[in-house]
């Protein structure tokens, strides 16, 4: 997921991983990584031998293919989903692409819902503070 909250952590944060890990959860990859390539092209990318082309990728096993798809907040790409193939006898196909792109759409919707939930929680906290203040003032005010 794209992060740019401060200069030291600009890049892409690994929010979750599964299978043979390239990097641990929470790792920050630079903009000059496969994630950056996907967001730059704003579309799905099939890469072969990713570890040969990007110093930032240190796999636990040779990656034969990587299928990467973006996910979006509205129309803005904000992250990537990776599927890695370590088996030289298998290749990604159009169904794999369709599945990952569908997953990318779901991730974008999930992100948007999470952001809305955070805003609602923030608004609820502000409302509670205001109600407390009004209650306190109404008890201390003389008419």
Lowest mean pLDDT among 27-31, 37-41, 92-96: 27-31
Per-residue pLDDT band at 142 (split at 50, 70, 90):
low
Give residue 7's pLDDT: 46
Q: How many CB atoms within 10 Å of residue 92?
A: 17
34-93 pLDDT tens trace: 888 888 888 898 988 776 666 666 655 677 788 999 888 888 888 888 888 877 788 999
Q: Could you tell me the residue ranges of all domains in the chain?
A: 2-111
Q: Which CATH superfamily is domain 2-111 in?
A: GAF domain (3.30.450.40)
């Amino acid at each position: 997921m794209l992060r740019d909250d401060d200069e030291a952590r600009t890049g892409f944060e690994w929010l979750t991983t599964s299978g043979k890990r390239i990097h641990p959860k929470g790792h920050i990859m630079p903009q000059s990584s496969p994630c950056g390539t996907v967001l730059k092209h704003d579309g799905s990318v099939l890469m072969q031998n990713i570890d040969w082309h990007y110093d930032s990728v240190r796999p636990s096993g040779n990656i034969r293919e990587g299928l990467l798809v973006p996910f979006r907040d509205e129309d803005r790409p904000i992250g990537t989903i990776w599927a890695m193939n370590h088996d030289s006898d298998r290749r990604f196909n159009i169904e794999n692409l369709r599945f990952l792109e569908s997953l990318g759409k779901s991730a974008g919707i999930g992100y948007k819902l999470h952001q809305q939930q955070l805003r609602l929680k923030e608004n609820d906290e502000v409302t509670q503070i205001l109600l407390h203040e009004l209650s306190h003032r109404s008890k201390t005010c003389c008419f």
